[in-house]
Structure 1
């Protein structure tokens, strides 16, 4: 499945090694290579026409069988769109667990890299966070597994 949509919403300037180092310093974690590979192709933006989802076996506030993954935040401060660098502020604003790196969300719900088990230099798992319900759902043991599990959202009702 193709990953990036052709739109420009949320797209940041091309990723540089300096931007990665700065982001890891701000976030206090090592970002997974699977994430950096995607961001080197396009630094954030909409995912395949914003119709992508990850199947789940436990119901969430979003749906009984999937969670959305319509975009991926990039690294950078451009254009007023949220970026990975907004994670520290958003974690505080929405009273989310930490340390995490938010990948996609709307404030109420998020898909995030979860560093609580692996530590700042480990390979984070991927988790669904629901700020309103104060709940979370593990999605995948790592980002590559999560990405491999994405499907077109039209597979769900």
Structure 2
């Protein structure tokens, strides 16, 4: 399935993404917010995803119908820089993509956020880094609200990103955990 998806998309998927596909073919991560150094149309300092797309079927990134990456790029006018990999709460007004524009179709793509202005903004150098950047949205919203009024909580945003607390204790692991879903499909790499 992985090889067929790569052939359909015309790119080599990053190893971390393939590993995720083998573990769980897409789904809804528990940590769904990605802090940014730029404002988005939805927040001053982050964006939210509501799912990571898998492969196969009508909603897979390789799908040729309404859920596939090619369809989404054409339908929503996203830049043709790579592959749409995440769904967002806006249901299409913004997205997250694997960005092959600098590495070519066989290289290790960066991850870019594409907002309503359709300008890709790099948020991570790799898919693995992107996964490690994701934080609990409620914690991020509380943190952002506290900072907005001048409060500095004991755990900084950087400590949340790295998973290390002020005393060197783990704040939250860096493995990606998924919320329960109704369907989980196992994928074997070919």
What TM-score, normalized by structure 1, do the two folds share? 0.80
Q: Name which one, 1 or 2, has greater alpha-carbon Rg.
A: 2
**Residue pair 2:79, 2:119 contacting (<8 A) in 1 also:** no
Look up the SS of the partner of 1:34 in the other structure.
Answer: helix
CA distance in structure 1 between the partners assigned to 2:4 and 2:82 by the alignment: 17
Tell me the residue number matched to 2:131: 147
Q: Which runs of 5+ in 2 are unaligned?
A: 63-67, 142-190
For residues 100 and 46 of structure 1, the distance between their equivalents in structure 2, rounded to whole angstroms, comes to: 21
Higher percent of residues as strand: 1
- Give 1:13-52 correspondences, 5 Å limit: 19-48=1-30, 51-52=31-32
Contact 1:100 1:112 in 2 (8 A): yes
The answer (yes or no) to whether the contact 1:52–1:70 under 8 Å persists in 2 is yes
Contact 1:65–1:156 (CA under 8 A) maintained in structure 2: no
Paired residues in the alignment total 133
Partner of 1:134: 118
What's the CA shift string for 1:7-26, capped at 9, x where partnerless? xxxxxxxxxxxx10110011
TM-score with structure 2 setting the length: 0.66
- Runs of 4+ residues over 4 Å off in structure 1: none
**Matched ranges for 1:43-122 at <5 A:** 43-48=25-30, 51-77=31-57, 82-85=59-62, 86-105=68-87, 106-122=91-107
Secondary structure of 1:39's counterpart equals helix
Q: Which has the higher contact order (CA 8 A, sep 6+)?
A: 2
How far did 1:95 drift? 1.4
Kept in 1, the 8 Å contact 2:79–2:120? The answer is no
